[in-house]
Amino acid sequence: MPATALDLAELEAAATHLRSYESLFLPGLFQVEGYTRAIFEASDAVSTGEEIEAAVRFRRARQGVLLGEQPPRVHAVIHEAALHMLFGGADVMREQLLRLVELAELPHVTIQIVPFTAVAVSALTTPFCHITSHDSALGTVLMEHPARSAYLHGDGDVAKYRRQFARLSEAAHPAIDTTVIPVKHATRDSLGLVQHILYTLQGAST
């Protein structure tokens, strides 16, 4: 695995809070195997089948942090565009969206969806993850770029992305909440949007 991937796994393992924004992909910690494999098959980061399988196994191993004895609090804000990207096809995406709902039931996981209709929020905003450990007020920001990922540690940079995450969260629908009776869902919430896309995918896979 590249050094940036190993660094990320180490940071996640020691984290107390992870705040992630994704515009076209779902967070790596949430991905089902078929979704992850489809991403790597379409990527230039790995080339051989052996490398793809190693990358998939590594990402799956990283996900163990969510189920540990002291898991970090994870808050993910995901743009609606990511829910429409059919990595692996309609059946894989249905599995993936159902996995999102399942993870949202964990007490330490919060998932919000930014709709296309959100004001002043671009689907092309660069994905990032704000990682804090030991209750640090600042921490580290991972900036994900197709060519090369980068880590920001400066107080000014980290504070800037913390503010940006807060704005994105405010623009997003309320978090997925499976405890609410379906008929009582507001017309605009994260779970309602996911369920609508799942219904659409059901038609695409039949």
The stretch 165-174 carries a mean pLDDT of: 93
Distance of CA 146 to the CA centre of its chain: 16
Pairwise CA distance, residues 180 & 88, whole Å: 30
Instruction: State the total domains in the chain.
Output: 1
Q: State the pTM of this model.
A: 0.91
CATH number, domain containing residue 82: 3.30.870
Q: What is the pLDDT of residue 206?
A: 59
Q: Which band of pLDDT confidence, cut at 50, 70 and 90, is reported for residue 176?
A: very high
124 vs 72: which has the higher pLDDT:
72
Strands 128-132 and 17-22: antiparallel
What torsion, rounded to 10 degrees, do the Cα atoms 75, 36, 140, 147 define? -140
Q: Which band of pLDDT confidence, cut at 50, 70 and 90, is reported for residue 36?
A: very high
Q: What is the pLDDT of residue 202?
A: 82
The residue segments making up the domain with residue 162 are: 3-204
Check: CB of residue 76 under 8 Å from CB of residue 64.
Answer: no
Check: CB of residue 111 under 8 Å from CB of residue 100.
Answer: yes
* Residue 181 clears pLDDT 70, i.e. is over it: no
* Residue 48 clears pLDDT 80, i.e. is over it: yes
Calculate the average pLDDT of the chain: 88
Q: Is the dihedral of CA 162, 150, 24, 100 positive or negative?
A: negative
